[in-house]
Amino acid sequence: MAPPPRRNPPHQNPTRRKVLVVRQDLKMGAGKIASQCAHAATGLYAELLSSNRGLLRQWEQLGQAKIVLTCKNQQEMNRLKETAEHRGIPTFIVADAGRTQVSFMLMPIYLL
């Protein structure tokens, strides 16, 4: 018997999700993480309002999904940012006292 077909093949029906990445090595409390994530979310939103309204509207129309992930340290965050930018994914970095704490990306995620 053949396996059931995929509901949404990777080339169809993408959903857009905001992905917030928080550094683990800074050991921030829950309130600080929430605050920094809010800064990142509003920062990228403001940038996209002026630079890419179409992408922003897609995200809004597809339910405004958000995901919060962690990375180990600054080096890992830099690699994630570089990879996202290489793929044309907008990013926004929040720095507090000169340390990058939260990276924010609006990424296409395909539901399989």
> Which CATH number do you get for residue 83?
3.40.1490.10
Asked, for residue 9, whether it belongs to a domain, the answer is: no
Q: Is 1 within a domain?
A: no
The answer to the question of residue 7 being in a domain is: no
Distance of CA 29 to the CA centre of its chain: 20
pTM: 0.73
Structural domains counted in the chain: 1
Report helix, strand or coil for 4: coil
Q: Is residue 68 part of a domain?
A: yes
> From residue 86, how far is each of 51, 77, 89, 90, 100 by CA, in Å?
17, 14, 7, 10, 20
In a domain, 75, yes or no: yes
> What span, in angstroms and rounded, lies between the C-alpha atoms of 33 and 83?
23
Q: What is the pLDDT along the chain (112 residues), one digit of tens a residue?
A: 554 444 444 444 567 888 888 888 888 888 888 888 888 888 889 988 999 999 899 888 888 888 888 899 889 988 888 888 888 888 888 877 666 566 655 544 433 2
Give domain status of residue 5, yes or no: no
Strand partners, 15: 109
What single letter denotes the amino acid at residue 62?
A: L
